[in-house]
Structure 1
Amino acid sequence: MNDSKNMILAVVLSALVLLGWTWASNKYFPPATPPSTKVEYGKQVALPQPVPQPPKTLQTRAQVLSASPRVQIRTSSLIGSINLKGAQIDDLLLVRQKQTIGRASMPVRLMSPLGAPGAYVAEFGWTAQGTAAPDLNTVWTADSSDLTPGHPVTLSTQMPDGVRYQLKIAVDDGYLFTVRQSALNASGKPIVLRAVGLVSRATKSTDPTTWTNHVGPISVFNDAANYKVDYKTLDEENQRSFNNVNGWLGFTDKYWLTALAPSGGAMSADFRRSPSGGYQGDYALAPQTVAPGQTVTTQARLFAGAKEKAYLDRYEDAGISKLSKSIDWGWFEFFMRPIFKLLLFLFHLTGNFGFAIIGLTLIVRTILFPVAQKQFASMAAMRKVQPKLKAIQARFKDDKARQQQEILKLYQAEKINPAAGCLPIVLQIPVFYALYKVLLVSVEMRHQPFILWIKDLSAPDPLTPLNLFGLLNFNPPTALHIGILPILVGFTQWLSMKLNPQPMDPAQAQVFAIMPWVLIFVFAPFAAGLQLYWITNNVLTLLQQWWLYRKFGLHLADTHPVHS
């Protein structure tokens, strides 16, 4: 099989892996009303209710933030505040992540208070029997006005019957909050308390869920990741419950994550959709009876930030099981993680992810070079027997079956394997797909520049000759927005195929002739980093072909087609 056929095979297989297909079936059953209680631990217990979503008439974020007392959050990764009315973590900006690649771009906002656009909050508290528990209207007292790494803040409040509640909140230099919940029963009678936590958002993520990347509710319970519950699930069912589980739950966007990870034994957990259209994930630990004068304490952690693998791995080591599963690596996780680690290593070595991708391509081609040599040797042998192939075609031009039999006999006699050239392409497909996924889901690749006009390797090439590279005030439709890098993909592919022996079938030769230009449109919507990988691979293929031509004493004339 010649290199042209190999490339077609590569394109077809890559398209099957990368593009796939989607399907959906709509359900029209009326949603059930979520229950307010359920049987658990042998008795009927109250569930933590969804946080009320913001009213239809919204205020500006600044108005909401100034309406209640707050504790300021300041770290190298986060800035924001905690609302002392309701004790909610409801104001978080990701300092090191910008909304766009513009220099004046604002940091990404992850959490926003109730009553403002895009409300997104986290809360820790209790449900209680025999006493009152703090609610959204409770105003807490803080022992400090600032929360910084190494300097936790303690929030306190007391109920009329004497029960005193405390939340000691600590934050690290990354994205992890540790919340120590305690309640002192000074009421003079036994009470039953249950530690709860929730994360609630008023709207769905603006990032779409695709077959390659899960967005929405996410959890790891009993060491098993659950990607099956999504926004559509909650729209149809209103609630999905999990009983007697350990682990964490929350909401994931393409690059951001909020996750609740309680300690202290099994919990019941729920994802739910509120009547006003918001979405919530919550948990409740087992009820505890607290005698007069006793204190009960539990601890939970909240991850709220970017899904940077270094931090996810750090928090896994600290006991949050499989937090890195919040990155949807897919079926080929075992292969993608090493590719990603290698890319990160090359990035730290070069300081540029574009050069890291080029380095990755060089490493892959170096590893596959012995295989490529065998491929080329097989191709050279094919060229040497082309006169014999031509003679067989002429002799049996009216008997195609006999012609194929004689060709197979010739291959066997000359010890030629026409399919030997497929292996290098097949071995590169996992690397190609792994790079595709890394560019798609890893926040480390987000907004990473290369050189010149390539300011974001995770986005398609923005420069197109169709509007004279931006000189014309015209933005081509998405289907026609063909950047310079996709054009270089097609051009280098065309050069590479010109050095290969042309197909003997004229119709097949015509298909192969247009294939490089078809690749321009195929690659146009892909990330610039993926286009860079393919261009580098093509250039290395051209250099390798030129060197091997010289080594085997072949000339370009040997690539001319053999006609029957």
Structure 2
Amino acid sequence: MKNENTRNMVIFVVATAVILILYQIFILGPQAEQQRAAAEAAAVSQTVDAGGDLAVPGAAPAPSAAVFTENRREALGTVARVPIQTGKMRGTLSLQGGRIDDLFLTEYEEIQGEEAPVELFRPAGMEHAFLAQFGWTGQNIAGGVPGPNTLWRLTSGSTLTPTTPVTLTWDNGQGLRFTRVVSVDENYLFTLRDTVANLGTTPIVIAPYGRIERQGVPDTLGKNQILHEGGIGTFGEPGSYSTTQLKYGDWTKKPREEFESTGGWLGITDKYWLAALIPGQDQRVEAEFVARDANGLQMREARLLGEPRTINPGRQITEEQRLFAGAKRNEILADYEEQLGLPRFVYAIDWGFLFFLTRPIFLLVHWFAGLVGNFGVAILLLTLTIKLIMFPLANKSYESLSKMRKLQPQMEKIKAQFKDDPQKQQQETMALYQREKVNPLAGCLPILVQIPVFYALYKVLFVTIEMRHAPFFGWIRDLSAPDPTNIWTLFGLIPWDPGSLPLLGGLLTNSGGGFTLALSVLAIFYGFTMWLQQAMNPPMPDPVQRQIFAWMPVIFTFIMAVFPAGLLVYWAWNNVLSIAQQYFIMNRYGAENPIDDFIAKLRNKAA
């Protein structure tokens, strides 16, 4: 009767899973597609019908969303521009507003294998424009102050490079002269040094500002729950700074968040890229994140306002602001943090709530990669290091498991002797454990300890740009992406794309995330090592639990297929090391194990 109940339970679980998958494919999938199409149509309608002028002081002009252009040259316009050229960036600076709104990161590719560099900033007029702009604000200033539409004049330099800064000037015609020197270093830091001379006859009071704005958020951003994308900044006072994160999805729920700070920084971050405003670290500033609707565009802005400065007649002041616009490489952020005294700048990288594990693990992997020249091998060395650290704990655990496996015949006798008295059966089993000094829970300890390490390594693979497009060996060209092989193409032997199928495509590939029916070489190897390690453990006493554990390697093979290849390399290699360690301990205690049984069968067949 018990075997029949177990069989019925397994059939029920499998049937339920099949029904859920079919419901997802044929019901929820089409419904989600219809909802998405309706949302896009509503967004287009809102865009076309919206109107009005942007009235926020100092903000860059928002174009009509109905007249976006895909032609970058057209969006750049006819206003003169200053070329930007470094070893890591190229783009232009507009003399209208002095905006930095055209910037590519030449070290990185949008898609691996393509020559198109990553686009960071995009000019207004194109969809999802992204830019940085700096100026001054003041009340009742005759002739005005520099804003987003100010036409600066290039008076020195022709191309902005790490060795050749450029100088821009603007005169308001009423006694105020602004001189801006823009420089850039060899990495991703722009420095804007403004000198304001009061040639008039009355004192004036003005304040500097900086603004990073994104005119609408691309659909590809802000969707991943394990990753922060959106507003980010560090605010506070010396000795008590804290970092604030505002996800894209939450930004409209908090349309304005204000902070006061001495120094610090703020900006907008994506997975790998950051645009951040950096004031002088001894300056008192007001910072805010703003979400607003401008001409139908959902604008996201990070704003920084400096202290008001009084300029008497015949005097001048100098104000310096900085802009970080580039890749979130740990060593670069750490260097700026040290050189500029920036608080918590390395936390522009989303290390997660286990940052005390994630960052050390990254630093160790990065150090190993520097020694061997391969991040995949570095992960193998990291796994070996963790196994060595946990060796005493794992040894105790595997000793307990080996003793339990050796006690299996006695446990079966107890079950047969007291099959009608579960309570007595449990008492006798526990007494056996005490006599033989076996802890049945000891086998769980290595797994429990590995869970935070697993999560931390997942974060490292997922959020650090150093791991982006990092190759291993053979077909694995990107450790941060899933293994590209697929059982449905016989691992590349059949030239077709399972993802092209209209309904099953998402389930048969591992590119979309979530549960899929995809199986890669790494996933199958991982599943095999999980099965072998589980087979070396003593079987569960309860038949239902035994069936569940028997299915776990199969289920996890499918689940893990969508994870980054580097994570599968870590986990499979960890299983291999665990199997080797457990094998030697089982032999030492004389416990049977499936490896010896398999070798014995091969010998018998050979004989």
TM-score (norm 1): 0.87
Alpha-carbon distance in structure 1 between the residues aligned to 2:547 and 2:126: 60
Return the offset for 1:237. Answer: 4.1
Contact 1:61/1:117, CA 8 A, preserved across alignment: no
Contact 2:167/2:180, CA 8 A, preserved across alignment: yes
Classify the secondary structure of the residue corresponding to 2:168: strand
Contact 1:502/1:559, CA 8 A, preserved across alignment: no
The question of 1:407 aligning with 2:436 is answered: no
Contact 1:48/1:282, CA 8 A, preserved across alignment: no
The question of 1:218 aligning with 2:214 is answered: no
Identical-residue share of aligned pairs (%): 42
| Equivalent residues in 2 for 1:44-83, closer than 5 Å | 48-56=57-65, 57-59=67-69, 60-65=71-76, 67-83=78-94
Among 150, 155, 159, the residue aligned to 1:146:
159
Among 532, 551, 554, the residue aligned to 1:495:
532
Alpha-carbon distance in structure 2 between the residues aligned to 1:474 and 1:376: 42
The question of 1:391 aligning with 2:401 is answered: no
Among 505, 510, 531, the residue aligned to 2:568:
531
Question: Cα 1:388–1:239, aligned 2, differ >3 Å: closer, same or farther?
Answer: same
Classify the secondary structure of the residue corresponding to 1:398: coil
Contact 2:198/2:316, CA 8 A, preserved across alignment: yes
Contact 1:185/1:290, CA 8 A, preserved across alignment: yes
2:307 equivalent in structure 1: 286
Alignment deviations for residues 86-132 of structure 1 (CA, whole Å, 9 cap, x no partner): 10111111111110111x33110000111223311111110123231
Alpha-carbon distance in structure 2 between the residues aligned to 1:514 and 1:230: 38
The question of 1:230 aligning with 2:247 is answered: yes
Alpha-carbon distance in structure 2 between the residues aligned to 1:366 and 1:279: 48
Alignment deviations for residues 334-371 of structure 1 (CA, whole Å, 9 cap, x no partner): 11111000000111112111111111111112222222
Contact 1:70/1:145, CA 8 A, preserved across alignment: no
Among 146, 165, 172, the residue aligned to 1:159:
172
Aligned residues: 514
Alpha-carbon distance in structure 2 between the residues aligned to 1:127 and 1:557: 76
1:310 equivalent in structure 2: 331
Question: Cα 1:217–1:238, aligned 2, differ >3 Å: closer, same or farther?
Answer: same
The question of 1:477 aligning with 2:506 is answered: yes
Letter in 2 for 1:534: W
Return the offset for 1:235. Answer: 2.0
Alpha-carbon distance in structure 1 between the residues aligned to 2:389 and 2:331: 28
Letter in 2 for 1:459: A
Alpha-carbon distance in structure 1 between the residues aligned to 2:461 and 2:347: 17
Alpha-carbon distance in structure 1 between the residues aligned to 2:217 and 2:370: 35
Letter in 2 for 1:156: T
Letter in 1 for 2:102: D
Among 109, 119, 129, the residue aligned to 1:119:
129
Question: Cα 1:244–1:514, aligned 2, differ >3 Å: closer, same or farther?
Answer: closer
| Equivalent residues in 2 for 1:266-281, closer than 5 Å | 266-276=284-294, 277-281=298-302
Among 173, 181, 184, the residue aligned to 1:171:
184
Unaligned runs of 5+ in 1: 1-45
Return the offset for 1:465. Answer: 1.4
Alpha-carbon distance in structure 2 between the residues aligned to 1:529 and 1:514: 24
Return the offset for 1:209. Answer: 4.5
Alpha-carbon distance in structure 2 between the residues aligned to 1:137 and 1:390: 85
2:270 equivalent in structure 1: 253
Question: Cα 1:559–1:412, aligned 2, differ >3 Å: closer, same or farther?
Answer: farther
Classify the secondary structure of the residue corresponding to 2:212: strand
Question: Cα 1:525–1:473, aligned 2, differ >3 Å: closer, same or farther?
Answer: closer
2:148 equivalent in structure 1: 136
Deviates more, 1:475-484 or 1:148-157: 475-484
Letter in 1 for 2:591: L
Contact 1:265/1:285, CA 8 A, preserved across alignment: yes
Letter in 1 for 2:226: T
Letter in 2 for 1:408: M
Contact 2:486/2:519, CA 8 A, preserved across alignment: yes
Classify the secondary structure of the residue corresponding to 1:480: coil
Alpha-carbon distance in structure 2 between the residues aligned to 1:449 and 1:430: 25
Letter in 2 for 1:482: L
Deviates more, 1:265-274 or 1:541-550: 541-550
Alpha-carbon distance in structure 2 between the residues aligned to 1:390 and 1:468: 43
Alpha-carbon distance in structure 1 between the residues aligned to 2:343 and 2:394: 42
Alpha-carbon distance in structure 1 between the residues aligned to 2:565 and 2:180: 47
Contact 2:216/2:299, CA 8 A, preserved across alignment: yes
Contact 1:204/1:216, CA 8 A, preserved across alignment: no
2:118 equivalent in structure 1: 108
Classify the secondary structure of the residue corresponding to 2:107: strand
Contact 2:399/2:586, CA 8 A, preserved across alignment: no
Q: Which has the higher contact order (CA 8 A, sep 6+)?
A: 1
Return the offset for 1:558. Answer: 11
Contact 2:232/2:348, CA 8 A, preserved across alignment: yes
Classify the secondary structure of the residue corresponding to 1:133: coil
Point out the structure with the larger helix share. 2
Deviates more, 1:469-478 or 1:51-60: 469-478
Among 295, 302, 311, the residue aligned to 2:316:
295
The question of 1:193 aligning with 2:206 is answered: yes
Return the offset for 1:47. Answer: 7.3
Deviates more, 1:128-137 or 1:236-245: 236-245
Deviates more, 1:351-360 or 1:469-478: 469-478
Alpha-carbon distance in structure 1 between the residues aligned to 2:216 and 2:442: 53
Question: Cα 1:558–1:352, aligned 2, differ >3 Å: closer, same or farther?
Answer: closer
Contact 1:383/1:558, CA 8 A, preserved across alignment: no
Letter in 1 for 2:276: A
Contact 1:238/1:272, CA 8 A, preserved across alignment: yes
* Coordinate RMSD, CA, aligned: 2.2
Classify the secondary structure of the residue corresponding to 1:67: coil
Letter in 2 for 1:137: N
Alignment deviations for residues 287-331 of structure 1 (CA, whole Å, 9 cap, x no partner): 122111111221111110011001110111022211111111121
Return the offset for 1:64. Answer: 2.9
Deviates more, 1:496-505 or 1:326-335: 496-505
Contact 2:531/2:553, CA 8 A, preserved across alignment: yes
1:513 equivalent in structure 2: 550
Return the offset for 1:455. Answer: 1.5
Return the offset for 1:48. Answer: 4.2
Deviates more, 1:83-92 or 1:501-510: 501-510
Alpha-carbon distance in structure 2 between the residues aligned to 1:172 and 1:85: 23
Classify the secondary structure of the residue corresponding to 1:311: helix
TM-score (norm 2): 0.81
Unaligned runs of 5+ in 2: 1-54, 500-504, 508-515, 598-607
Question: Cα 1:558–1:340, aligned 2, differ >3 Å: closer, same or farther?
Answer: closer
Alpha-carbon distance in structure 2 between the residues aligned to 1:459 and 1:501: 35
